[in-house]
């Protein structure tokens, strides 16, 4: 039997001959499986995602224009499925969990070490930390450094992290 | 065929079986409901039409063609006035819906028949 073109297969499926969908499954499963496997590494989850991709394509086949190539459309579905997969696996914080704010963070380092650690910081970070240690609020530091409040928060957070990192090293 | 391909196809067939069955059931029930509704509205309409007093007048004037011709518009107006318009409207709407259902069924008949054949074959082979 002469090999059927994708558009003929789609036409037949649209006409109710859904057994022709096996041609599409056979033709593209390996390709899609390999692509997803490279991204996920896990066999079970790859299997599930491949299944979802073909089910989604089947659901959309009625509206699919048979003149268009199948492969890019399938890969678009793969991208969406992967996006959904990674989104669902994103770590979330429970509402009950207490979230540490920058203002509450406290670093307890010996005062002798602090002087040494401050030296390694850039001037901007050093200034911000100095003002903070003098009891100025974030807003006041922002006004003093003429920077937006969130930038000041970032500067201080980075300075703290840098100090902790260097303290751990020593 | 690999195990994964078999799994995919099984899911597709399951999905299609559910979809086709629900489609057939909803179409058939919709068709039946509107057939019954149109039967009801048409019979109520006809019952009211047969009770028109105009028929008696019409009977007497149809004997004389000249009289009938002279009073044709007046008689037609009286018939129009006496017609129960709401029921006529409902009867026409339900009849149109029945016709639409029938046309859709005729249009999709080949597709549904193909689907049922393929699904039947698949589930028979699985047993």
Give the pLDDT band (50/70/90) at residue B57.
low
Q: What pLDDT is recorded for position A73?
A: 93
Q: How far from A69 is each of A31, A75, B44, CA to CA, in Å?
A: 15, 11, 56
C-alpha A4/C-alpha A37 separation (Å) is: 28
In this structure, are residues A22 and B5 in contact, taking their beta carbons and an 8 Å threshold?
A: yes
Least Cα distance to A70 among A25, A30, A3, A19 occurs for A25
Chain B residue with minimal CA distance to A33? B4
* Cβ–Cβ pairs < 8 A, chains A and B: 58
Angstrom distance (rounded) from CA A34 to CA B70: 88
**Which one of 1.10.1760.20, 3.30.1300.30, 1.10.1740.10, 3.40.50.300 gives the CATH number of domain A6-89?**
1.10.1740.10
What chain A residue is nearest to B107 in terms of C-alpha separation?
A: A15
Closest chain A CA to residue B115? A16
What are B62-79's pLDDT values in tens digits? 667 777 777 778 877 877
Q: Is the pLDDT of residue A145 over 90?
A: no
Percent of chain A at pLDDT above 70?
84
- Listed in sequence order, the residues at least 6 apart from B121 whose beta carbon sits closer than 8 Å to its beta carbon are A19
Interface check A15 vs B, CB under 8 A: yes
Cα(B1)–Cα(B30) distance, integer angstroms:
41
Domains of chain A: which residue ranges? 6-89, 105-164
Say which CATH topology domain A105-164 has. Answer: Arc Repressor Mutant, subunit A (1.10.10)
Distance from CA of A169 to the nearest CA of B (A): 51
Q: What is the pTM of this model?
A: 0.63
């Amino acid at each position: 039997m002469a090999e059927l073109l994708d558009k003929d297969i789609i036409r037949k499926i649209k006409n109710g001959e859904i057994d022709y969908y096996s041609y599409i499954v056979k033709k593209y499963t390996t390709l899609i499986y390999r692509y997803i496997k490279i991204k996920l590494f896990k066999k079970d989850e790859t299997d599930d995602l491949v299944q979802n991709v073909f089910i989604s394509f089947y659901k959309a086949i009625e509206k699919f224009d048979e003149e268009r190539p199948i492969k890019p459309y399938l890969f678009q579905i793969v991208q969406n499925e992967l996006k959904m997969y990674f989104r669902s696996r994103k770590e979330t914080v429970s509402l009950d969990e207490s979230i540490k704010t920058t203002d509450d963070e406290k670093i307890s380092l010996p005062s002798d070490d602090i002087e040494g650690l401050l030296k390694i910081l850039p001037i901007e970070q050093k200034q911000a930390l100095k003002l903070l240690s003098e009891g100025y609020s974030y807003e006041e530091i922002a006004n003093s450094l003429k920077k937006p409040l969130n930038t000041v928060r970032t500067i201080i957070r980075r300075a703290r992290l840098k100090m902790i990192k260097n303290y751990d090293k020593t | 065929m690999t195990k994964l391909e078999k799994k995919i196809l099984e899911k597709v067939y399951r999905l299609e079986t559910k979809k086709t069955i629900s489609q057939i059931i909803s179409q058939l029930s919709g068709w039946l409901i509107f057939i019954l509704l149109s039967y009801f509205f048409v019979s109520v309409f006809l019952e009211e039409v047969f009770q028109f007093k105009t028929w008696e007048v019409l009977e007497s004037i149809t004997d004389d063609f000249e009289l009938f011709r002279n009073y044709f518009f007046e008689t037609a107006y009286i018939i129009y006035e006496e017609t129960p318009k709401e029921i006529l409207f409902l009867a026409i709407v339900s009849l149109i819906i029945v016709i639409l259902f029938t046309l859709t069924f005729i249009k999709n008949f080949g597709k549904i028949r193909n689907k049922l054949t393929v699904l039947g074959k698949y589930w028979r082979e699985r047993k």
